[in-house]
Amino acid sequence: AQSVTQLDSQVPVFEEAPVELRCNYSSSVSVYLFWYVQYPNQGLQLLLKYLSGSTLVESINGFEAEFNKSQTSFHLRKPSVHISDTAEYFCAVRQGAQKLVFGQGTRLTINP
């Protein structure tokens, strides 16, 4: 079975600083990887995804993630964060027929 490990449960950063949220997965087959964002008391919103092709994927709000097969990682980065980026971020791998296996989540806190 596939699994996902998010190495940091909380990441505090200052506004306009860069951030990296780490994600490692375990899988012996081809993977489809996702990052979801969850704002307080809300459902999950897809941030970006890797299915195939270019290993660097980008979202419309400045986040990017790089699929690294040799390191089995899919870290999420943003060069300059904003207060509105405060949320919980979940890395997920698709298993089987579109079932998602999620990591434990990383709470990103932006300090002014």
Partner 1 sequence: DTGVSQNPRHKITKRGQNVTFRCDPISEHNRLYWYRQTLGQGPEFLTYFQNEAQLEKSRLLSDRFSAERPKGSFSTLEIQRTEQGDSAMYLCASSLALGDEAFFGQGTRLTVV
Interacting residues toward partner 1 by CB under 8 A: 4, 6, 9, 32, 36, 41-46, 49, 51, 90, 92, 96-105
CA distance 20 to 2: 23
CA distance 24 to 38: 19
Closest contact distance (angstroms) between CB of 70 and partner 1 is: 24
Phi, psi of 71 (to 5 degrees): -100, 5
Closer residue to partner 1, CB minimum distance, 5 or 15: 5
Closest contact distance (angstroms) between CB of 109 and partner 1 is: 14
Closest contact distance (angstroms) between CB of 58 and partner 1 is: 16
CB 35 within 8 A of CB 63: yes
